[in-house]
Amino acid sequence: MRLEEIIGAHIADRRADEGMSQAELGEALGQHLEKPWSRQAVHAAEKGKRAFTAAELVAIALALDVELSELMEPPLKQRHEDVELQRGTISARKLAAVVAPETPEQWERRADLKTLRQISPMLTGVIQTLKILNISLGGLLTTEEEQEARENPEGAQQWAQEALAARATLTAALADMVGQSVQSEDRKAAIKRVEKALAVATGTEGGSDS
């Protein structure tokens, strides 16, 4: 692999993480260079088809809010390969040691941050789904039925009791996910509560909790 390809891949990944288009990145580079880059220029850079100057690398790091060393660091899965320079080659491990001589603790922290960036959109989708389900469960009971189920749970109809319990369970699970609960519960228990709430809402709950 070529050094330009490593840099280009990092640019593309970081740009995607930031939610920027190639045209937007090109405009941002114009704040640090003589003129903005076209979308085609950014595309060529991400494909490893551009020989970067030092000024361009600094501008890219500033525009993407990333450390300069991260742009040149070989991916872990390719550390066993050689990296092609303009003249000769260098092992990917040696290049990594030169551009990013970080401690194991620093590497672990950066890996965790990258993982968080990747799963955050998925977690947001899950929370939104739970909120919609909570609203749907709320529509199953009228105000009078809900008040009766709260004040006289033994005398309320079975389905009203279940709907009210499901709402309470789902609300608690949602609070756990967004960090609003007073006391965090076991992860497995939270998952089980959500599964039971879904079963009640869809009418598929059986007689067993298993």
Mean pLDDT of the region 40-56:
93
Output the pLDDT for position 36: 96
CATH number for the domain that contains residue 86: 1.10.260.40
> At residue 60, does pLDDT exceed 80?
yes
Contact, 110 vs 96, CB < 8 A?
A: no
Domain boundary among 86, 101, 116: 101
Kind of pairing between the strands at 82-84 and 89-91 = antiparallel
Is residue 148, in this structure, part of any structural domain at all? yes
Please tell me the total number of residues recorded for the chain in this structure.
Answer: 210
User: What pLDDT sits at residue 148?
Assistant: 60
**Do 132 and 44 fall within a single domain?**
no
Distance CA(206)–CA(168), nearest Å, equals 19
Query: What is the number of other CB atoms lying within 10 angstroms of the CB of residue 35?
Result: 8
Q: How many CB atoms lie within 10 A of CB 103?
A: 8
Backbone CA torsion sign across 59, 60, 66, 67: negative
Domain extent, residue 198, equals 106-202
177 pLDDT higher than 60: no
pTM of the model: 0.44
Per-residue pLDDT at 32: 94
